[in-house]
Structure 1
Amino acid sequence: MDKDLHEAARRGEDKKLEELLRSRFRDDSSNLCEHQLTAIAKDTILHIVAMYSGSVNCAEVLRHACPNLIKATNVNGDTAIHAAALSGHLELLKHLIFWAEGHDLEDGEPVIRAQNEDGETALDVGVRARNVEVVEELMRADSELVHIRNFKGQSPFVLASGSVGSSSVMRKIAQYMDIDGILEELQEESSTTVHPLISPQPSGLAEGEQKHETLSADSLETLGYQRRWNPLHHAAYHGITLNIEKALQRNIKYASEQDESGQCPIHLAASQGHLDCIQVMIRDLEDAIHQKNRDGQNVLHVVAKTGKKEIMKYLLRNLSPEFKRHINNVDNEGNTVLHLAVKNWHHAIVYMLVSEKMTALDAPNYEGFTPMDICEREMLSPPQFSQLIVLKILKIAKAESGRKYNRSLEGQENNEEKYKRKLEYYRGWIDTSLIVATLILAVTFAAGFTIPGGYNSQGMAVLLEKPTFCIFVFFNSLATYVSLLIIVILSRVVLTSDFDSLSTAVKVCTPLLGLAVFLMAVAFTAGVFSTTRNLAWFANTLLIVCMTLTIVILMLVIVLHMLLSADFHICFTFTYRVVVPLMLWLNRDE
Structure 2
Amino acid sequence: MRPLEATHGDLAPPYRRSSSNPYEDDPKDASTRYLPLYKAVDGGDLEATKKFLDQHPDALCSSLSTDGDTALHIAVLAGHVDIVEELVGRMSALELAVKQRYGSTALNFAAIGGVTEIAELLVEKNRKLLEIPNDHEQIPLVVAALYGHRDLVQYLYLKTPIEELDPTSKNHGAILLTACIMDEFYDIALDLVQRYPLLAIAEDTDKDTALHILAQKPSAFPSGSQLTFWQRWTYKCIHLDPQKASLIASGDIEMPHEGPPHRRSFTKRVLHRISEAFWKGLKLCDKLEAVLKKALFEAVKQGIVEVVTEIMKHYPEVVWFYDDKDRNIFFVATAERQEKIFSLIYKMGAKKNSLATHWDKDFNNMLHQAAFLAPSSRLDRVSGAALQMQRELQWFKEVESVVQPKYKEMINSHFKTPRALFSDYHKKLVEQGEQWTKETAESCTVVTALIVTIMFSAVFTVPGGYDNSGNPIYLNQNSFLVFIVSDALSLFSSTTSLLMFLGILTSRYREEDFLQTVPTKLMVGLSMIFFSLATMMITFGVALFIVLRDRIAWVSFPIILLASLPVTLFALLQFPLLVEIFISTYGPGIFDKPKKNLCPSGSTRSSTRCFR
> Given that residues 338 and 350 in structure 1 are in contact (C-alpha distance below 8 angstroms), is that contact kept between their aligned partners in structure 2?
yes
Map of 1:331 onto structure 2:
322
Q: Is the counterpart of residue 265 in structure 1 residue 265 in structure 2? A: no
> 2-side partners of 1:139 and 1:277: how far apart?
33
Note closer, same or farther for the CA distance 1:288–1:555 as it changes in structure 2 (3 Å cut).
Answer: farther
**Which one-letter code corresponds to 1:485 in the other structure?**
L
Asked whether the equivalents of residues 123 and 130 of structure 2 are also in contact (C-alpha less than 8 Å), the reply is no
Query: Pick from 288, 291, 305: which aligns with 2:288?
Result: 291
Q: Equivalents in 2 of 1:472, 1:434: separation in Å?
A: 25
C-alpha distance in structure 2 between counterparts of 1:233 and 1:80, whole Å: 28
Cα distance change of structure 1 residues 105 and 315 upon mapping to structure 2, 3 Å threshold? same
Q: Aligned equivalents of 1:111 and 1:463: distance in 2?
A: 98
Letter in 2 for 1:444: I
How far 1:473 moved relative to its partner? 0.9
C-alpha deviation, 1:292, in angstroms = 1.8
Identity fraction in percent: 11
Instruction: Report the Cα distance in structure 2 between the residues aligned to 1:138 and 1:184, rounded to whole angstroms.
Output: 31
Seen in structure 2, the aligned counterparts of structure 1 residues 556 and 114 have a Cα distance that, compared at 3 Å, is: same
In structure 1, the residue matched to 2:57 is none
Please give the alpha-carbon distance, in whole angstroms, between the structure 2 residues aligned to 1:297 and 1:264.
12
Q: CA deviation at 1:39?
A: 12
Aligned partner of 1:447 in structure 2 is 454
Q: Give the distance between the partners of 2:399 and 2:495, measured in 1 at CA.
A: 38
Distance 1:379 1:301, change over 3 A: closer
Three-state SS of the structure 2 residue aligned to 1:293 is: helix
Query: What is aligned with 1:561?
Result: 581
Q: Distance in 2 between matches of 1:260 and 1:117?
A: 23
Aligned residues: 446
**Structure 1 pair 359/510, CA: closer, same or farther in 2 (3 Å)?**
farther
- Give matches, 1:182-331, under 5 Å: 234=175, 237-239=178-180, 241=189, 255=201, 265=209, 268-273=212-217, 275=271, 278-286=275-283, 291-293=288-290, 297=293, 299-305=295-301, 307=302, 309=304, 312-313=305-306, 316=309, 322-323=313-314, 325-326=316-317, 328-331=319-322
Number of the residue aligned with 1:384? 379
In structure 1, the gaps of 5 or more residues are: 1-36, 48-70, 88-92, 187-229, 574-590
The answer to whether structure 1 residue 523 and structure 2 residue 535 are counterparts is: yes
- C-alpha contact 2:194 2:277 (8 A) present in aligned 1: yes
Q: Are 1:105 and 1:111, in contact at CA under 8 Å, matched by a contact in 2?
A: no
Structure 1 distance, partners of 2:98, 2:208, is 41
Q: Give how far 1:299 is off.
A: 3.4
Letter in 2 for 1:521: L
Specify the code of the residue in structure 1 equivalent to 2:298: V
Letter of the 1:512 counterpart: V
CA distance in 2, matches of 1:490, 1:234: 57
Q: Is the CA contact (8 Å cut-off) linking 1:179 and 1:247 kept in structure 2?
A: no
Alpha-carbon distance between aligned partners in 2 of 1:462 and 1:287, rounded to the nearest angstrom: 92
Deviation at 1:166, TM superposition (A): 1.6
1:436 to 438, 443, 449: 443
The alpha carbon displacement at 1:265 in A equals 3.3
Q: Describe the SS at the equivalent of 1:400.
A: coil
Q: Distance in 1 between matches of 2:41 and 2:510?
A: 82
How far apart, CA to CA, are the structure 1 residues paired with 2:544 and 2:121? 65
Per the TM alignment, residue 157 of structure 1 is displaced from its structure 2 partner at its CA by 3.5
What is the distance in 2 between the residues matched to 1:425 and 1:265?
Answer: 42
Of the three residues 134, 139, 142, the one matched with 1:157 is 139
* 1:438 maps to amino acid: T
- What is the match of residue 366 of structure 1? 359
8 Å Cα contact 1:236-1:266 kept in structure 2: yes
Q: What displacement does 1:438 show?
A: 2.0
Determine the structure 2 residue equivalent to 1:219: none
Task: Please tell me the residue identity of whatever aligns with 1:145.
Answer: L
2:559 equivalent to 1:539: yes
CA contact (8 A) 2:489 2:532 kept: yes
Contact 1:139 1:146 in 2 (8 A): no
Aligned 1:140-179 pairs, distance under 5 A: 143-147=127-131, 157=139, 161=143, 166=147, 176=160
In 2 relative to 1, CA 483–462 (structure 1 residues): closer, same or farther, beyond 3 Å?
Answer: farther
The answer as to 2:67 corresponding to 1:86 is no
Which amino acid is the alignment partner of residue 561 of structure 1? I
Which letter does structure 1 place at the counterpart of 2:46? T
Change (3 A) 1:441 1:517: closer
Match of 2:403?
Answer: 401
Deviation string 1:530-558 (CA, Å, 9 cap, x unpaired) is 36655344334445655655666786355
Q: Select which of 319, 330, 345 maps to 2:337.
A: 345
Amino acid at match of 1:404: K
Among 456, 472, 488, the alignment partner of 1:474 is: 488
**How far apart, CA to CA, are the structure 2 residues paired with 1:265 and 1:383?**
26
Are the equivalent residues in 1 in contact too, given 2:346–2:352 (CA < 8 A)? no
For residues 48-127 of structure 1, the aligned pairs below 5 Å read 82=75, 86=79, 105-109=89-93, 123-127=107-111
Q: Contact conserved, 2:373 with 2:425, CA < 8 A, in 1?
A: no
Provide TM-score, normalisation by structure 1. 0.55
| Map of 1:484 onto structure 2 | 498
Q: Distance in 2 between matches of 1:555 and 1:107?
A: 68
CA shift digits 1:287-316 (9 cap, x unpaired): 66982229x8263333113x162xx42563
Q: Contact conserved, 1:292 with 1:299, CA < 8 A, in 2?
A: no
Q: Give the counterpart letter for 2:370 in structure 1.
A: C
Q: Map Cα deviations across residues 160-201 of structure 1 (whole Å, 9 max, x no partner).
A: 659x96255696657726676899999xxxxxxxxxxxxxxx
Displacement of 1:372 in angstroms is 4.9
- In structure 2, what is the Cα distance between the partners aligned to 1:571 and 1:366? 22
Structure-2 separation of matches of 1:520 and 1:571? 35
The answer on whether the counterparts of 1:266 and 1:288 sit within 8 Å (CA) in structure 2 is: no
Q: Alpha-carbon deviation of 1:44?
A: 3.2
Shift of 1:559: 3.2
Change (3 A) 1:423 1:280: closer
* In the alignment, structure 1 residue 375 sits paired with structure 2 residue 370: yes
Root-mean-square deviation (Å): 6.0
- TM-score of the superposed pair, with normalisation by structure 2: 0.53
Highest relative contact order (Cα 8 Å, sep 6+), 1 or 2?
2
Distance 2:462 2:519 in 1: 39
Distance 1:407 1:522, change over 3 A: farther
Unaligned runs of at least 5 residues, structure 2: 1-38, 50-59, 182-188, 221-270, 382-387, 546-553, 594-612
Structure 1 residues 356 and 545, CA, compared in 2 at 3 Å: closer, same or farther? farther
Distance 1:133 1:547, change over 3 A: farther
CA-CA distance at 1:482 after TM superposition: 1.4
User: 2 CA distance for matches of 1:314 and 1:120?
Assistant: 38
For residue 293 of structure 2, give the secondary structure of its aligned residue in structure 1.
Answer: coil
- Give the Cα–Cα distance (whole angstroms) in 2 for the partners of residues 149 and 348 of structure 1: 44
